[in-house]
């Protein structure tokens, strides 16, 4: 990138950013570098306004490498066999899989340094807050729809998640 206070992006700079976005597991991504804004919505993504799915505003001294690093997926490798097992248990009425109600950031605790709302193996009551979702500076509580035991947590604290992405599984109480 060139320039003093403004950012001139070359086609190669844009290609690097788009390549980083392509590797992400997000339906909607927005990256800002100086005055340049790149917004990408994958086919099949919900028709909501572009949210701050991944926002990487950088000062003019920033580099494309920093944009690519900021756009790197924060998602942990989810054990798909475990997820499939809990989705099957949900279909059989034995579990509840809580999904993200929107594109946003998943939080396990009320604030940094606070204990998590729930831990794997912990009991949960119907109506209890199990996590928070943040979208556009608004927080929404994710609630347990039944009594049970937290069986799995599929998202990390502070992770960007997509609409309808499974984030937590609860084994229903007998």
Based on the domain organization, do 101 and 60 belong to the same domain?
Answer: no
* Dihedral angle of Cα 152, 79, 74, 21, to the nearest 10 degrees: -140
Which H or E element spans position 90? helix 80-91
Domain, as residue range, for 99? 80-172
Token pair of 33, please? 């570098």
Based on the domain organization, do 27 and 65 belong to the same domain?
Answer: yes
Whether residue 2 is contained in a domain is answered as no
Token pair of 109, please? 């605790």
Based on the domain organization, do 112 and 61 belong to the same domain?
Answer: no
| Average per-residue pLDDT for the chain | 76
Based on the domain organization, do 59 and 99 belong to the same domain?
Answer: no
For residues 161 and 46, give the distance between their C-alpha atoms in angstroms, rounded to a whole number.
13
Residue 114 has pLDDT above 70, yes or no: yes
Q: Classify residue 56 by burial, with Cβ atoms within 10 Å: 0-12, 13-18, 19+.
A: buried
Full-model pTM = 0.56
Whether residue 75 is contained in a domain is answered as no
Residue 126 has pLDDT above 90, yes or no: yes
Whether residue 5 is contained in a domain is answered as no
Whether residue 129 is contained in a domain is answered as yes
Whether residue 156 is contained in a domain is answered as yes
Residue 7 has pLDDT above 80, yes or no: no
Structural domain total, the chain:
2
Based on the domain organization, do 85 and 165 belong to the same domain?
Answer: yes
Based on the domain organization, do 31 and 91 belong to the same domain?
Answer: no
Which CATH number do you get for residue 141? 2.40.50.100
Classify the phi-psi angles of 121: left when phi > 0, otherwise alpha if psi is within -120 to 50, otherwise beta: left
Based on the domain organization, do 65 and 84 belong to the same domain?
Answer: no
């Amino acid at each position: 990138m060139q320039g003093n206070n403004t950012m001139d992006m070359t086609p190669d700079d844009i290609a690097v950013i788009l390549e980083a976005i392509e590797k992400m597991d997000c339906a909607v991504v927005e990256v800002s570098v100086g005055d340049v804004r790149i917004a990408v919505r994958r086919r099949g993504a919900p028709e909501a306004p572009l949210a701050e799915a991944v926002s990487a505003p950088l000062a003019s001294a920033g580099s494309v490498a920093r944009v690519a690093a900021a756009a790197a997926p924060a998602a942990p490798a989810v054990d798909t066999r475990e997820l499939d097992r809990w989705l099957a248990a949900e279909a059989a009425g034995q579990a509840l899989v809580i999904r993200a109600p929107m594109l946003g950031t998943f939080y396990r605790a009320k604030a940094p340094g606070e204990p998590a709302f729930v831990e794997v193996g912990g009991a949960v009551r119907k109506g209890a807050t199990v996590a928070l979702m943040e979208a556009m500076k608004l927080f929404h509580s994710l609630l347990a729809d039944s009594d049970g035991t937290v069986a799995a947590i599929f998202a990390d604290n502070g992770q960007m998640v997509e609409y309808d992405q499974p984030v937590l599984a609860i084994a229903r109480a007998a």
